[in-house]
Structures are given as structure tokens and as C-alpha cells.
Amino acid sequence: MNLVERVKAPTPKFFRVLRTIGLSLVAASGVLLTAPVALPAAVITLAGYLTVAGTVMSAVSQTAVQDPEEPAADDGSAP
């Protein structure tokens, strides 16, 4: 399975939630980094780390794929 097929394949629910959290972290850190007011250096540094963490979390979550032999358990029940 190449990268394009992997990204286009169905993503399990847990990783969809992680992807959403990662994208939210990136958005929040982007707001902090582009704030029109002067912020303390610690806040800017934290925003940079949140950007990296959110980007990695979203990228890894996007490449997780549903096993084709297992049925999708989107209702939260364990097999």
C-alpha cells in the first residue's frame, strides 16, 4: 500500500478524533503566533511547540487505516 492509497483509505474513529484535536492545536497556536499584541516569550515558544505537536498528531492520524478484515466499530462497542 503506497502513501496515496493509505491517505485515501478509511480512518478509524479514534484517529479521526486525534486528527481533529491536532488540527485544533495548530489553529490555536496559529492564533497565538500571529496575535497583534506583544506576548511573553514563553507563550510564543509554547505556541511553536503546539504547532509542531498538532501537525505531527494530524499527519500520523491521517495515515492510520482501518483493517479491511475487521468491521468498522464506529458505535464504540468492542468486538
User: Measuring CA to CA, which residue among 51, 45, 57, 44 is closest to residue 28?
Assistant: 51
Higher pLDDT pick, 60 / 76:
60
Distance between CA atoms of 69 and 78, rounded to whole angstroms? Answer: 15
Query: Can you give the pTM of this predicted structure?
Result: 0.73
pLDDT tier, 45 (very low <50, low <70, confident <90, very high otherwise): very high
Per the listing, cell 495548530 goes with 26
Task: Label residue 5 by pLDDT band (50, 70, 90).
Answer: confident
Provide the 8-state DSSP code for 25.
H
Q: How far is CA 67 from the centre of its chain?
A: 20
